[in-house]
Amino acid sequence: MLELIVISTLNGLLFGMLLFLLSSGLTVIFSMMGVLNFAHASFYMLGAFFGYQLTKWIGFWPALLLAPLLVGAIGMAVERYGLRNTHKHGHVAELLLTFGLAFAIEEIVAMMWGRSPVDYRVPALLDFPAFTIFSTNYPAYKIFMLAVSILIFIVLLTVLKRTRVGLIVQAALTHPHMVGHLGHNVGRIFMLVFGVGSALAGIAGVIAGPALVTQSDMAAALGPILFVVIVFGGLGSLPGAFIASLVIGLIQTFAVALNGSLASAFGPLDPSAGPSVLTDIWNVTIAQVAPIVPYLLLVIILIVRPMGLMGTRET
Amino acid sequence: MQKLVIAATAALTMVAGAAFAQETIKFGYIDPLSGGGASVGEGGLKTFQYLADEINAKGGILGRKIEVLPLDNKTNPQESLVQAQKAIDAGARYITQGNGSSVAAALSDFVTKNNTRNPGKEVLYFNYAAVDPSLTNEKCSYWHFRWDASSDIKMEALTSYMKDIPAIKKVYLINQDYSFGQSVRADARKMLGAKRPDIQIVGDELHPLLKITDFSPYVAKIKASGADSVVTGNWGQDIALLLKAAADAGLKVNWYTYYAGGAGGPTAIKQTGLDHQVFQITEGFANSGHQPAMDFEKAFRAKVNMSLWYPRAVNEMRMFKAAAEKANSLDPVKVAAALEDLKFEVLDGGEGVMRKDDHQFFQPIYISSFGKLAANEPFDEEGTGWGWHLVSKVDTSKTMVPTTCKMTRP
Amino acid sequence: MNAKMTSTPTSKIVDTTVGDGLRFYGIWLAGIAVLIVLPLIFSSGGSLTSFSLIGIAIVFALSYNILLGQTGLLSFGHAVHYGLGGFAACHMMNAVVSHGWPIPLPFIPLFGGLGGLAFALVIGWVMTKRAGTVFSMISLGIAELVASSSLILRSVFGGESGISTDRTSLPKILGLSFGPQLQVYYLIAFWLVISAIAMYALTRTPLGRISNAVRDNPERVQFIGYDPHVVRYIAFCFAGFFAGVAGGLAAINFEIANAAYLGAIQSGLVLFSTFIGGVAFFFGPILGAILVTYLQLGLTSVTGVWQLYFGIIFIGIVMLSPGGIAGLIMMHRPLVRAGTLPTVIPSYLLAAVPTLALACGVILTIESIARTHSGQGSPINLFGVAFSPASPVTWASAAILVAGGFFVARLSWRRVGEAWDRATTIARDRGYLA
């Protein structure tokens, strides 16, 4: 039992940090610009595929640097030529633009790299078990992912809260005209913010690609859960997203580890009653419902506390 | 006026009917050709087109050539029905489909209703890969024929093999939470319990279909259970990610799978380095050692640039030809009657039979393992350098499972 | 979030003179006549199926517009009501058969509607507490929950293979068996007309008006004594009901209900249809549903990358014409009235040529890349001209079309803008444009 608890905690931590790596960019964009970017997971996918391609050409470490820059550049282009023109039509139009973009990017990636998973591997330098607990290995690469996530969290928080750049960016969101009058180019600030957010998704892609499967439906698989993380944590709150990632990572991992169902707790139902909704609910195990727990959390938190765990505003 | 129109239409139809005799046999292929499942669907399409070319090169069936109509169903049951209607409009009297038991159930139902409502315009549905046992049991239809071994047949074969391996003591079941996964799990429990009551089932897991990105929690559970073997029906990313997580955690067990050989599977196994620890149950495979099959594989790879995923598709098309020639007609009703109890030498050798009671094809089943190749095994998979190696062959007679099908015959 | 979204469709009923009234009824009658005549012209099984699907999609899109266009609620889970309606209809049909109730098939969509409504009644109150992003996110969460639960609650939803039924075994009415697709088409057309009239009438009621007000400015609605929450809730319930009707019609058409009805793809499609058609006008979603369903059925047999074209069309509409197709059409209304439309027509025709060339270039580029990569290499058939995807000629012509088309199109659209300004100035002078 202790073994399972320790290992589940570790796994939950690792999965949670991966979620944070992914959602940090999304939450930065939202907190700065108020745009819910549906294409964020697509930028993550682009990061993974660029990472794969560049790794093949120039090796993993240069790719880790270059691929996010490329994704960031694409993000800036999307902001400059897409979102900026749509901004005057309101947030719904902006959101729908990113929605269409997600569609297009998925198909483009499938067109370029096919629909089967590509052979994107962990770099040889990190391809060894870092340590062993209860005879379970922990690959060094996962520890590397953990370290990068925490590093990004600290850097982002410091830049936003402690530097002059961060202050200007925050001011530009709430008082764009005032910031403009002070001589800053608000348009360029937004473009940079969107670029940085996209680049963060790109980093997540390059790093998560070898650990998970790199294929053209990876964005669709992860998209919705990212929204759960940032909404649950509080829209636009970086510490909130950090906590929410951990909570969701841990809950999901522990739910998987539990075998219990109502039937195992209170004994099986009378079989003569035949199949009904009750028997379905009675026999379902906690592990089976684990992946829908986050959505349940999302709905509950929005009903109880619409601004999320650490958020300060509703929209 | 109206009578004139009717007469003219009738005359036209007759002319068209006469012309039809020289026309191609339209064969509707309904599977995903866009979206997530497209890589699998396109592989199937290439296979059927290759097989149609092969038959056409030898003069077709009863002098008529086969034309495969590719129809994209996006793995969606409703869309499949629309595409089936399109196929019928285009003149197809035979349709084939494989991906997704939910699609198969919808199509089987559709074809049955179509045939009762439109007598004289019957359509046959050839199923080449949907393995839900219910299609040949409680939901069976006279118009549905299945060439793939249903999941209970595969489990029957697998457990026949496992019962002779004394090293297997603790088995862990992990499956996708939907009808196919649930039938794998139920059959494994039932059949292992009957054949090797001493084997302990130490875990029985169902996880959501294609939603898990990180399998390490499941692997932790498998490890904690002390299992020496895992039985799984997982396919697609669910098998790839599961094996990846297992290799990362250093889990040492044997994997008995249904679909580790699917698109992307071999690449994933090679990445994990699980040499000859992953087993697969199929009705045939590249290195089976049967010379005609190996020749076919070689020619197929040279032309289509992929390995033959569906030996059953070869059986399907060749049996279609055999049945039509036996009936001396391409009328679906007569072909269906000719297919019943038809015996046939399958691609990988040995005799198979299309059972009349439920329209399920029974054939020898192979258990093979994936890893480094021996000298007499020429075929690798997905350019990995690794390939499938024969572990055991289960004869047709040992795969016969009972059916509950009560077929309504026309 | 929704303040800037749309303008109220008030312009449509500004001056209800006798002539306008006649024209108004004329449009509806013409629509009904088209519905009746259509299957007589195109009578193949495939086109009947397509028309049936388009009819269902129209009801579904119109129901969605009660939320998005009229009340300003962006839902990512509208298919939940559609799907539950479908399941309700399927269960009802099976129950009618097994209990021998005297309910003929044409009444079944009503039960589908009740299914959609029931869920809306239960979940709507908490969902509509707030508008904007909160509502959108709750709808996303609920959609995922319901879709996942539908696979767990197997006794109700039948797992992933769903619940099947046989529409012909219900009691007959007027001697109709509803086996042939033609009869099903007319059943769907009948329900389409009924639902469309009902939903149009809804926009004319005080409730419809106050929904518009809630969309534009909830605070002021509160000041005049209405609770925006209640208004949103009622609108949500109506939307759920009509989505359920659409689901019930789909269940009759396919004779099956399964988890695909409830899923994110279905929710995405209805959002697509409604937005592309235009949310600000009642007929917008109708246009959108026709176009999207047609594309969805037609594009798939032409190209494997239809999803990419979908994305591009959607991005194009969002960026260039946020009012959708209906918005584009209605932009010309004042010009027609002022009689200045002929001023812009020539410039349109002029601009159409390079724009079409640009579109051809883009299609050629996409198809060459797609077909070269998928290894098919089958030739691209563009307006009867076959291009080989691997040949340099194709690449060169694609490049010329894209670059040249883009350059000339820019110039010609500038001229359209000038012509447009002239036309609107005159229209303004004549008092048809504010």
Mean pLDDT of chain C: 86
Instruction: Say yes or no for a CB contact (<8 Å) between C161 and B132.
Output: yes
pLDDT of residue B364: 94
Instruction: Say yes or no for a CB contact (<8 Å) between C138 and A114.
Output: no
Would you call B323 an interface residue with chain A, using a CB distance cutoff of 8 Å?
A: no
* pLDDT band, very low/low/confident/very high, at B188 (cuts 50, 70, 90): very high
Instruction: Give percent above pLDDT 90 in chain B.
Output: 61
Instruction: Say yes or no for a CB contact (<8 Å) between C138 and A93.
Output: no
pLDDT exceeds 50 at position C348? yes
Q: Are C251 and C52 in contact (CB under 8 A)?
A: no
Chains with 3+ CB–CB pairs under 8 A to A are B, C
* pLDDT band, very low/low/confident/very high, at C4 (cuts 50, 70, 90): very low
Q: How many Å apart are CA C127 and CA C234, to the nearest integer?
A: 12
pLDDT of residue C52: 94
Instruction: Say yes or no for a CB contact (<8 Å) between B39 and A114.
Output: yes
Kindly report the nearest CA distance between residue B114 and chain C, in angstroms: 9
Q: Which domain holds residue B235?
A: 152-287+365-399
Q: How many Å apart are CA A54 and CA C1, to the nearest integer?
A: 40
Instruction: Say yes or no for a CB contact (<8 Å) between B72 and C161.
Output: no
| DSSP structural state of residue B51 | H
Would you call C213 an interface residue with chain B, using a CB distance cutoff of 8 Å?
A: no
Q: How many Å apart are CA A288 and CA A282, to the nearest integer?
A: 12
Q: C298 by DSSP, 3-state: which?
A: helix
Element (H, E) at B319: helix B311-327
- Sequential DSSP letters for C320-364: H-TTHHHHHHHHTHHHHHHT-HHHHHHHHHHHHHHHHHHHHHHHH
Q: How far is CA A45 from CA A53, A220, C6, in A?
A: 12, 9, 34
pLDDT of residue C18: 60
Contacts with A, B 184-223, CB within 8 Å: 205-208, 210-214, 216-218, 220-221, 223
Per CB-CB distance under 8 Å, the chain B contacts of A222 are 213
Q: Which amino acid is at B103?
A: V
User: In this complex, which of A275, A277, A295 lies closest to C145 when CB atoms are compared?
Assistant: A295
Same domain, B178 and B297: no
* pLDDT band, very low/low/confident/very high, at B67 (cuts 50, 70, 90): very high
Instruction: Say yes or no for a CB contact (<8 Å) between C45 and B177.
Output: no
Q: How far is CA B140 from CA A61, B111, B137, B261, B359, in A?
A: 56, 12, 5, 28, 8
Would you call C169 an interface residue with chain B, using a CB distance cutoff of 8 Å?
A: no
Contacts with B, C 72-131, CB within 8 Å: none
Q: How many Å apart are CA A202 and CA A225, to the nearest integer?
A: 17
User: In this complex, which of A15, A121, A129 lies closest to B250 when CB atoms are compared?
Assistant: A129
pLDDT of residue C12: 43
Kindly report the nearest CA distance between residue C152 and chain A, in angstroms: 7
Total domains present in chain B: 2
Same domain, B329 and B378: no
Phi, psi at B281, each rounded to 5°: -110, 120
Per CB-CB distance under 8 Å, the chain B contacts of A212 are 213-214, 241
Q: C386 by DSSP, 3-state: which?
A: strand
Q: Which amino acid is at C335?
A: L
Q: Are A72 and A202 in contact (CB under 8 A)?
A: yes
Per CB-CB distance under 8 Å, the chain A contacts of C275 are 96
pLDDT exceeds 50 at position B17? no
Strands (E), A73-210: 129-133, 136-139
Per the structure block, which two tokens stand in for C325?
A: 């197709």
Which residues, 6 or more positions from B247, have their beta carbon under 8 angstroms from its beta carbon?
B271, B272, B273, B274
Residue-wise pLDDT tens digits, C117-152: 999 999 999 889 888 888 888 898 899 899 888 888
Q: How far is CA A314 from CA A120, A236, B280, B398, C255, in A?
A: 40, 10, 52, 64, 43
- If one compares B73 and C289, the residue with the highest pLDDT of the two is C289
Paired residues of B126 in beta bridges: B96, B145
Residue B405 lies in a domain: no
Same domain, B325 and B267: no
User: In this complex, which of C1, C305, C319 lies closest to A315 when CB atoms are compared?
Assistant: C1
Same domain, B195 and B262: yes
Most confident of B71-75, B189-193, C149-153: B189-193
Residue B352 lies in a domain: yes
Same domain, B115 and B203: no
Same domain, B145 and B33: yes
Q: Are C195 and C59 in contact (CB under 8 A)?
A: yes
Residue B231 lies in a domain: yes
Q: By CB neighbour count within 10 A (0-12 exposed, 13-18 middle, 19+ buried), where does C429 fall? A: exposed
Q: How many Å apart are CA B249 and CA B254, to the nearest integer?
A: 15
Same domain, B345 and B381: no
Minimum mean pLDDT range among A59-68, A288-297, B184-193, B196-205: A288-297
User: In this complex, which of A101, A298, A303 lies closest to C315 when CB atoms are compared?
Assistant: A101
Which residues, 6 or more positions from A272, have their beta carbon under 8 angstroms from its beta carbon?
none
A283: nearest CA in chain B? B206
Same domain, B225 and B195: yes
Q: Are C3 and C213 in contact (CB under 8 A)?
A: no
Residue with tokens 């049951």: B77
pLDDT exceeds 70 at position B15? no
Per the structure block, which two tokens stand in for B86?
A: 């399109």
Instruction: Give percent above pLDDT 70 in chain B.
Output: 94
How many CB atoms are located within 10 Å of the residue C298 CB?
12
Q: Quick check: ipTM above 0.90?
A: no
pLDDT of residue A169: 79
How many CB atoms are located within 10 Å of the residue B250 CB?
15
pLDDT of residue C370: 79
Same domain, B256 and B393: yes
Kindly report the nearest CA distance between residue A221 and chain C, in angstroms: 12
Paired residues of B207 in beta bridges: B176
Instruction: Say yes or no for a CB contact (<8 Å) between A112 and C373.
Output: yes
Q: How far is CA C26 from CA B123, B190, C29, C33, C55, in A?
A: 44, 68, 5, 10, 20
Q: Are A94 and A78 in contact (CB under 8 A)?
A: no
Element (H, E) at B28: strand B25-31
Chains with 3+ CB–CB pairs under 8 A to B are A, C
Per CB-CB distance under 8 Å, the chain C contacts of B134 are 161
- Which of B29, B85, B131 is the best mutation test for C, with the most CBs of C within 10 A? B85
Residue-wise pLDDT tens digits, A65-75: 999 999 999 99
pLDDT of residue B8: 45
Same domain, B239 and B371: yes
- Which of B45, B109, B139 is the best mutation test for C, with the most CBs of C within 10 A? B109
Q: B125 by DSSP, 3-state: which?
A: strand
- If one compares A212 and C196, the residue with the highest pLDDT of the two is C196
Low-confidence ranges of chain A (pLDDT < 70): 173, 270-275, 312-315
Contacts with C, A 218-247, CB within 8 Å: 224, 227-228, 231, 235
Would you call A273 an interface residue with chain C, using a CB distance cutoff of 8 Å?
A: no
C159: nearest CA in chain A? A280
Per CB-CB distance under 8 Å, the chain B contacts of C168 are 113, 117
Paired residues of A131 in beta bridges: A138
Q: How many Å apart are CA C148 and CA A225, to the nearest integer?
A: 14
Kindly report the nearest CA distance between residue A246 and chain B, in angstroms: 15
CATH number at residue B27: 3.40.50.2300
Q: Are A293 and A249 in contact (CB under 8 A)?
A: no
pLDDT of residue B11: 43
User: In this complex, which of B82, B106, B209 lies closest to C49 when CB atoms are compared?
Assistant: B82
Q: How many Å apart are CA C332 and CA B200, to the nearest integer?
A: 76
Q: A50 by DSSP, 3-state: which?
A: helix
Q: A35 by DSSP, 3-state: which?
A: coil
Would you call C134 an interface residue with chain A, using a CB distance cutoff of 8 Å?
A: yes
Q: Are B95 and B111 in contact (CB under 8 A)?
A: yes
User: In this complex, which of C148, C307, C319 lies closest to A103 when CB atoms are compared?
Assistant: C307
Instruction: Say yes or no for a CB contact (<8 Å) between B220 and A4.
Output: yes
Q: In what order do the strands lie in the sheet with B351-354?
A: B343-345, B351-354, B361-362
Per CB-CB distance under 8 Å, the chain B contacts of C301 are 71-72, 86
Per CB-CB distance under 8 Å, the chain C contacts of B110 are 255
Kindly report the nearest CA distance between residue C179 and chain B, in angstroms: 7
Contacts with A, B 253-282, CB within 8 Å: 263-264, 267-268, 271
Q: Are C327 and B95 in contact (CB under 8 A)?
A: no
Residue B410 lies in a domain: no
Q: How many Å apart are CA A199 and CA B326, to the nearest integer?
A: 65
Chains with 3+ CB–CB pairs under 8 A to C are A, B
How many CB atoms are located within 10 Å of the residue C417 CB?
13
User: In this complex, which of B85, B86, B105 lies closest to C161 when CB atoms are compared?
Assistant: B105
Kindly report the nearest CA distance between residue B184 and chain C, in angstroms: 15
Same domain, B49 and B173: no
Would you call A207 an interface residue with chain C, using a CB distance cutoff of 8 Å?
A: no
Q: By CB neighbour count within 10 A (0-12 exposed, 13-18 middle, 19+ buried), where does C188 fall? A: buried
User: In this complex, which of A116, A222, A288 lies closest to B39 when CB atoms are compared?
Assistant: A116
Same domain, B268 and B125: no
How many CB atoms are located within 10 Å of the residue B89 CB?
14
Residue-wise pLDDT tens digits, B108-139: 999 999 999 888 899 999 999 999 999 999 88
Q: How many Å apart are CA C129 and CA A307, to the nearest integer?
A: 13
Instruction: Say yes or no for a CB contact (<8 Å) between B89 and C305.
Output: no
